[in-house]
Structure 1
Amino acid sequence: MIGRDDQRKRLEEDLTRSYSGEPKVMPIVGMGGIELADMLQKSLKGKRNLIVLDDIWKTEAWDAVRLCFRSDNKGSGILLTTRNTEVARNAGTKNLSLQMDLMGPDESWSLFKSVAFSSEELPSDLETIGKQIAEKCHGLPLTIVMVAGLLKSKRTREDWESVAKDVTSFVTNDPDERCSRVLGLSYNHLTSGLKTCLLHFGIFSEDSEIPTKKLMRSWMAEGFLKLENDLEGEAEKCLQELVDRCLVLVCKKSLDGTKIRSCKVHDLIYDLCVREIQRENIFIMNDIVLHYSYSAISPCTSLQLPNNH
């Protein structure tokens, strides 16, 4: 949460309303520490609760957030997830921490197959090379899902062998670096139109749930879609393809399950979008070069024609 008034008001309402039986998810990035701590302590006082702090990257973040929770709420607990062992140690969970193991070969293949083929029958000529690709992902679930999503629309042995070679070149001892390289591979296999649509997620707040209508209208306004087609239909098609490639996560669907109501991207994909925006500094629309201005302080865009066009 970036601290905007409407988001602050929503957070206050979530904290002060009576419990509805549904778990509450509240992004709190950027909220004032003392103010938020006071709000949380008042909301949780005298209640049993389970607080889940997902993906804490730095010890400083944990040190700031821990002040929000009282230690006298018996029967309550805090579940913290992190990729940083220093954060886990600093949280004082010496005898309560669980180191997640990497997936074994069978688990890796099962996950890979479920993403790449879903309910389709697995062609025998792709099974052997598919298992090799899954093994080269070194048990990292995100890497497996990303590579499988990339191959979901490819059904020739040549395509799979090409991807297998690329994945082999990404071998590194750093899991995050390996994931980032695989994300880059998935990004590079997108069409230029899909690349532009994916990069657009980088202008929203990190880890924010984006209403689909807002996202699609933004795509339309920026001219990212084929102008001769039905824009809404084209936008839905682009979004679904990004979802199918496991680059975009579906948050909410319509009651009948046919429409995506809101979505988001994984934080590593968000980082990829921001890096590419900063590196390229341009968008291409119908052969017209558009400059893109990115501000790390305010997540907004400014598209303008260069002076020489």
Structure 2
Amino acid sequence: MRNIQQLFIYATISIILSACKSDTKEETKEIKIAKTEIKGDCPKYILDNKKNNLNISVFLDLSDRITQPKTIQKDTEYLKSVSKAFTSHVKTKKLIFLQDQMQLYFNPEPTNDAINAIAEKLHIEFDKNSPKAKITETEELYAGQPAEIYNLALADAKNPKDFPGSDIWQFFKYNVKDYTISNCHRNILVILTDGYMYHENSQIKEGNLSSYLTPKSLHRLPLSNSKWETTLNEKGYGFIKANENLEDLEVLVIGVESLNPKNPYAIDVMRAYWTNWFNEMGIQKFKIQNADLASSVEKVIEGFVNP
């Protein structure tokens, strides 16, 4: 009888200890989950849908490139295509999941208040309370207002020498994280530029690296023959790294064209400069598109925004 009682006691103790171990495992598991929980400044159902929430920023290069009428014509068509890709995406979403936005940037900020007022109009946000009419309104705004920006910029600087340049390098160094990256969205930056980079107040050089690339500076480099890539890599030519940890940003550069007629490899060199620069800053998805017919580039834009 005593042996049976002892066995009963042992069995009871074993059950209790087993239950305690199980509770400990469950508690540990819960603590681990709590530590890895993702936090954001938007509702959880929006954060969970992050990759389907578009945050498109467009950077306009308002340097002397816009003194060419064909550049303005192409840029305005490219902008129409970007807004069309944006609204096409919005149309596919359920109303409750709408959390999408699109905006326009320059650097430096134009001194003309009228340009800034237009840029403010082109800051579009969609949420669950947005009316359907806003889709059409967005397309109309981006079809008409950008041309006015170029006209105003040209009126302010009628001579190409009056253009100080567009500071893309400084924008990446000081503004890109604050202006174009949201932890609740898929972040896309579209840059309309000719591929060169220059501003009179941002001319930094460190060895064979620089914060700028102009037709004149490119002409001085030994990169005009078929061995340009080997020379570029061996000499370390390129842009100075402006930022880091930009993994949450996708970049589409549109409008690259050569202003170096004596260098048949100029576009290849520019593409290498941009590619290496993006890689060094941690940007994982990007595309560098040459200036081309608007109808051709529209397909590129649509494929990038809505893959």
Work out whether the TM-score is over 0.5: no
Q: RCO greater where, 1 or 2, for CA within 8 Å and sep 6 or more?
A: 2
TM range (shorter): under 0.3
Q: Give the number of the structure whose alpha-carbon radius of gyration is greater.
A: 2
Relative to its length, the structure with more strand (as a share) is 2
TM-score, scaled relative to structure 1: 0.27
TM-score, scaled relative to structure 2: 0.27
